[in-house]
């Protein structure tokens, strides 16, 4: 945060100067909101001055006043925030998808941090750094027991600046020092595009940053060029947290005709209210379209999904989206700081706001609630289908989410799947193409042996529920009466880790295959492999290829 709020006299003097001006303007109107603001700021300045002068211990002004600002922000929504000068890079990344760094993801396990992913064309890629490589030193400083977030900050920096990093090979333990020169890393908004079964195109979009709308359009046009007889397209917005509203309009314009309203915004400052319409010709406004959403699809993702649904341009497949119907803008503050503030709500073409949590009405304890189903209003799509506000975007074709087994979660957390993939990579120079690669039964048996003498203990959900019941029974003094029955039940629930491995073999095998493929074909390969067993993708494919079912979903007779 640097020089922000570093001198007490400057803080207090500045506040008092502001307050003298404000009270001079508004002091004659007791009912005026601005007078009340000035009055209470005056009280705050006097309060802080007296506290700082006479309190027995020193109060750091930067820390103390920041706490006051954070307390104010607690009464707003989570998206309204103060951004200090030294955090502006994060704001820039959210808008542009760009940052200065080395182009790799890291994770910490035990004493050391290692590389998990390398971005194509990045400084790490150019230096032939591989997933699994362990970071030993950076510019001569040992990285043992250094927190992951600290190492992440050290790796980021101004493009063109060098780092001397010593990497330890995870298999041979050989150490090599490499000079890594930071560059501007541009995280692609379209992380993958290609074809899935039976001439269905697929586009995976991870964020709405600058130029992401054109990236989606370009990806779609390339798919059409590769296969002019393409029968449908899937736009995957799962896990996409959103971003720039303008880019959402451009993405929609890829599939929606010119001069169609995509979203409108309304807030306290009425002359900021706007309606956003498509401005150009679409790439294709007739091809069957499926948009994938889940609970992590938010903001701009919901603008695209909501407009496609309201205009009956395509179908939504998956789970209900997050429900963020709020718009933020940034306002300049002194000392190069920023205020990111919610200034409006946005509305899809049917007129609904999909905001799921009501931050304007808090409970006595300060908590907030989801909009009750009984309060959700109904709206109609262009074709007369009924849709509702106040709860995200409901899918037209619901697919239940897939949850990992407890044994799979444990193997991932302990990084045994990651470690086995690293070992596999160094013993297999080549593998099949990403989508076609699969582990043999013998190789899965080798993974089982790899786990010998490794601790990946865990509790099943049933065991957790039983523990909770036993605790409650003891509190209510029923335990003695049922203890023998509970012991029998406990024995029946005890799990055998080997049996759990075999019972969940296909799931664990799939996770292994995706991690291994990532070693050879990076992120694009991992995505290509994951699509082969993706329930939402397979559901979308079946609907896009079955035109009667597709059209039935879009007809008013299927209204909710």
Distances (CA, A) of 487 to 272, 461, 463, 478: 66, 17, 12, 14
Q: Say how far apart CA 523 and CA 503 lie, in whole Å.
A: 28
- Give the other-Cβ count within 10 Å of 122's Cβ: 20
Q: Say how far apart CA 245 and CA 239 lie, in whole Å.
A: 17
Is there a contact between 248 and 300 (Cβ–Cβ < 8 Å)? yes
Q: Say how far apart CA 514 and CA 530 lie, in whole Å.
A: 6
Angle (deg, nearest 10), helices 479-493 and 461-475: 170
- Give the other-Cβ count within 10 Å of 400's Cβ: 9
The token duo for 294 is: 């889940």
Give the active site residues: 299, 310, 324
Is there a contact between 217 and 283 (Cβ–Cβ < 8 Å)? yes
Is there a contact between 188 and 215 (Cβ–Cβ < 8 Å)? yes
Angle made by CA atoms 89, 90, 92, in degrees to the nearest 5: 60
Task: Choose among 231, 254, 207, 535: nearest CA to 397.
Answer: 535
Is there a contact between 109 and 134 (Cβ–Cβ < 8 Å)? no
Is there a contact between 293 and 515 (Cβ–Cβ < 8 Å)? no
């Amino acid at each position: 945060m640097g020089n922000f709020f570093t001198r007490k006299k400057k803080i207090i003097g500045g506040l008092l100067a502001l307050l003298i001006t404000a009270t001079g303007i508004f002091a004659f109107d007791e009912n005026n909101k601005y007078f009340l603001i000035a009055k209470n700021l005056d009280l705050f300045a006097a309060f802080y001055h007296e506290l700082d002068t006479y309190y027995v211990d020193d109060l750091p002004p930067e820390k103390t006043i920041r706490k006051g600002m954070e307390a104010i922000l607690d009464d707003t929504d989570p998206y309204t925030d103060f951004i200090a000068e030294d955090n502006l890079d994060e704001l820039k990344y959210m808008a542009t998808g760009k940052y200065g760094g080395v182009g790799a993801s890291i994770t910490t396990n035990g004493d050391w941090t290692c590389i998990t992913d390398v971005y194509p064309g990045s400084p790490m890629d150019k230096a032939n750094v591989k997933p699994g490589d362990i970071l030993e030193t950076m510019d001569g400083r040992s990285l043992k027991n250094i927190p992951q977030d600290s190492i992440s900050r050290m790796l980021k920096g101004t493009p063109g600046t060098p780092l001397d990093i010593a990497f330890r090979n995870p298999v041979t333990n050989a150490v090599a020092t490499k000079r890594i020169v930071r560059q501007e890393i541009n995280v692609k908004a379209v992380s993958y595009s290609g074809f899935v079964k039976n001439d269905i195109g697929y586009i995976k979009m991870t964020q709405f940053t600058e130029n992401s709308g054109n990236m989606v359009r370009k990806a779609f046009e390339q798919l059409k060029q590769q296969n002019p007889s393409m029968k449908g397209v899937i736009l995957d917005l799962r896990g996409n947290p959103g971003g720039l509203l303008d880019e959402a309009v451009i993405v929609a314009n890829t599939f929606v005709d010119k001069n169609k309203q995509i979203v409108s915004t309304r807030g306290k400052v009425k002359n900021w209210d706007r309606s956003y319409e498509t401005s150009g010709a679409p790439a294709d406004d007739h091809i069957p379209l499926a948009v994938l959403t889940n609970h992590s699809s938010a903001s701009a993702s919901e603008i695209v999904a909501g407009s496609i649904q309201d205009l009956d341009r395509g179908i939504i497949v998956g789970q209900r989206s997050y429900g963020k119907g709020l718009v933020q803008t940034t306002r300049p503050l002194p000392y190069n700081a920023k205020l990111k503030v919610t200034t409006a709500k946005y509305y899809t073409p049917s007129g609904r706001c999909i905001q799921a949590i009501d931050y304007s009405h808090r409970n006595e304890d300060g908590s907030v609630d989801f909009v009750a189903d009984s309060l959700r209003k109904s709206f109609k799509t262009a074709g007369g289908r009924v849709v509702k506000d106040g709860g995200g975007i409901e899918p037209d074709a619901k697919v239940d989410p897939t949850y990992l087994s407890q044994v799979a979660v444990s193997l991932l957390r302990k990084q045994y799947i990651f470690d086995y993939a690293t070992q596999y990579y160094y013993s297999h120079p080549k593998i099949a193409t990403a989508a076609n690669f699969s582990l043999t039964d013998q190789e899965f048996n080798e993974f089982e042996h790899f786990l010998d003498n490794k601790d990946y203990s865990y509790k099943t959900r049933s065991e957790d529920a039983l523990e909770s019941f036993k605790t409650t029974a003891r509190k209510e003094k029923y335990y003695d009466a049922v203890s023998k029955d509970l012991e029998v039940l406990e024995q029946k629930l005890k799990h055998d880790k080997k049996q759990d491995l075999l019972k969940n073999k296909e799931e664990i095998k799939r996770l292994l295959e995706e991690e291994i493929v990532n070693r050879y074909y990076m992120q694009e390969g991992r995505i290509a492999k994951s699509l082969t067993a993706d329930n939402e993708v397979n559901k979308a494919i079946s609907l896009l290829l079955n035109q009667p079912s597709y059209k039935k979903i879009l007809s008013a007779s299927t209204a909710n």
